[in-house]
Amino acid sequence: AQTVTQSQPEMSVQEAETVTLSCTYDTSENNYYLFWYKQPPSRQMILVIRQEAYKQQNATENRFSVNFQKAAKSFSLKISDSQLGDTAMYFCAFMKHYGGATNKLIFGTGTLLAVQP
Amino acid sequence: DAGVIQSPRHEVTEMGQEVTLRCKPISGHDYLFWYRQTMMRGLELLIYFNNNVPIDDSGMPEDRFSAKMPNASFSTLKIQPSEPRDSAVYFCASSLRKNSNQPQHFGDGTRLSIL
């Protein structure tokens, strides 16, 4: 069975600074996807970034980037130039890949990020 | 395009009552998921459907919970009878199989409080 671990329940960062959120996972699969979702106080679940396991290049979306280490089963999220609107709960998630079939997401327990002015 | 629509946004009811949560997935999506979020257990998948057929309901906590998807544009999650420990935020999400890495799109959730 797959598991996702986020070891940082809470983090704080000053506005405009950079912060890295950690995520590790356990799987015997070779093909899979990894995601970071953001949940602000409004409680929406918003996709931040995704990574395909077969791609060696780390995914980047504007101020958000990941450090994907497949051998170490690590998938950290870096937020650059932090903004007050980045304050939210961040969830790391894993999804198996079966030749094109959608499968269920397995979520970590989340990291609550507070951006301080 | 409209996203996943859930109703109601908040529900407060007394224990023992029947509760029905509703979800309208994104048009054209063929997968629908129901999640429960609590402080203690985080986000848990309860059940998911493919083309209106339940595929995996192993996350449904007990027989008091049931879910249906009578057509491609509507699903319900029902709790009968409800108990205080069912209090949580319930999310519905949908996705499209054609793009295997298409992320799930979430609704805004229903905050359920059982008194």
- At B24-34, the pLDDT tens digits run 999 999 899 99
B43 → closest Cβ in A44, A50, A91? A91
CA A6 from chain centre, in angstroms, equals 9
Please tell me which residue of chain B has the smallest CA distance to A51: B101
* Interface size between A and B, measured as CB pairs under 8 A: 47
Is residue B65 within 8 A of residue B80, CB to CB? The reply is no
Give DSSP secondary structure letters for B18-76: -EEEEEEPPTT--EEEEEEEETTTEEEEEEEEETTEEEE-TT--STTEEEEEEETTEEE
For residue B99, pLDDT over 90 is answered with no
Give the distance, in angstroms, between the CA of residue A94 and the centroid of all CA atoms in the same chain.
9
Contacts with A, B 30-49, CB within 8 Å: 31, 33, 42-43, 45, 48
* Residues found in chain B: 115
Ranges in chain A, pLDDT < 70: 98-103
What confidence score (pLDDT) does residue B62 get? 85
- The whole-number pLDDT of residue A8 equals 94
B36 phi and psi angles, rounded to 5 deg = -125, 135
Q: Kindly state the DSSP code that residue A86 receives in the 8-state scheme.
A: G
How many percent of chain B have pLDDT more than 90? 77
| Bond into B81 cis (ω within 30) | yes
Q: What is the pLDDT of residues B38-83, one digit of tens each?
A: 988 889 999 999 999 998 898 998 899 999 999 999 999 999 999 9
Query: B104 and B95 in contact (C-beta within 8 Å)?
Result: yes
The minimal CB distance from B89 to the residues A43, A97, A107 is found for A43
Strand-pair partners of B70: none
CA atoms within a 13 Å half-sphere pointing along the CA-CB vector of B100: 12
